[in-house]
Amino acid sequence: MSSVRDRNVLDITLIEDGKYVLIICDDLEWFYGFRVEHATILQDKINDYLDYVSSGQAEIAQPGKRPVIRVLAKYSYSAYGLDFLERIKAFIKQNGDICDFEWTHSTEDGPFNDGFSDDYVFDARKIYPRVRKNWAKDPLKEISLLATGPNSNDYDDQYVMLRFMDKFVGMFVQDLGNAFTYIRYPMLPEGMDVNELQKIAFENLARDITYRSVGSREEGVYGIVCGGNFEAESICNTSIWQDVSKMIDDDVIVCIPTKDIVLYTKANDKKLRKKILKMADEMFEKNRRETPYLIFSKDVLIYSRDENAIRITDKYRY
């Protein structure tokens, strides 16, 4: 049997009280981190059904019977989901009233708590940094990528952002269990500013994310891994690079060609520098062609033992 993700197909049809009922089998949940995607998937399916009705195919299949589009849910509706469905119903009514629209759930599933609140709840323990490259030609003068705060006209839609190492943009995500959601200004608790949020995010990263070193195909060049979600954010944790520098007994040169690949080697070894820059360039260009959403940066970073800090350097390029 088909379901809500299957396009251009009717999941179930039946005749009920003289009406032609077209059922959408919605087997998705309405939890916060997925609700927008759920609504998009359901909207596409509803549009397919509306096309079926408006094209006259429903009338050909069941002449004289009023079409009814019914969403049959496997999981509880949420406040967001119910509001979405109400808006769909109103839209159909106001645009030709070509069919009835309703929603219910199977009595075999449950328990149901239709209309429960799915409002966002800020959890300071689950906030982490997210670093992105600022691709502006002049990052220091480009302010459009930086948050302007509560005084902005777009405050409700604005993500919390700040400059990071001048050439990067720092953002913040909350782990909702099934997904990550980016933090917007209205989601912050009253009285919390960006500096406090950054402090919390960095502390959580150091506490919860375990980084480890792995070898690469090139002897002397290593990688930092942590499961695929926060590799690039390793540059937010100076203690990682302090430990690495002790291990290799040198300053550290760092390249992050993709979000999930962090390469490092000895900064003062000319042969190893050549190796890492070549590897990083190949990885960046490969992902530019095949998976551009993964590319991160062509910047080269240096961890200095004397300064106990990691920073972008213009001395090396790839």
The answer to whether the CB of 232 falls within 8 A of the CB of 259 is yes
- Pseudo-torsion of CA 5, 98, 82, 9, nearest 10°? -10
CATH class of 12-105: alpha beta
Query: How many residues does this entry show for the chain?
Result: 318
- In angstroms, the Cα distances linking 152 to 139, 145, 146, 156, 188 are 20, 13, 11, 9, 15
Sequence-distant (6+) residues with CB within 8 A of 301 are 165, 235, 253, 254, 255, 256, 310, 311, 312, 313
Q: What is the pLDDT of residue 138?
A: 62
Both tokens of 96, joined, read 């030709």
> How many CA atoms are closer than 13 Å to the CA of 214, on its beta-carbon side?
11
How many angstroms separate the CA atoms of 247 and 265, rounded?
11
Cβ atoms of residues 69 and 100 within 8 Å: yes
The predicted pLDDT at position 136 comes to 67
pLDDT of residue 121: 85
The per-residue pLDDT for 144 is 42
Q: What angle do CA 293, 297, 301 make, to 5 degrees?
A: 150
Per domain, the residue ranges of the chain are 12-105, 124-206, 212-313
Which pLDDT score, from 0 to 100, does residue 123 have?
94
In sequence order, the 6+-apart residues with CB closer than 8 A to the CB of 308 are 238, 242
User: What's the pLDDT at 247?
Assistant: 96
pLDDT at res. 282:
96
Looking at residue 141, its pLDDT comes to: 54
Residue spans of the chain under pLDDT 50: 142-150, 152, 155
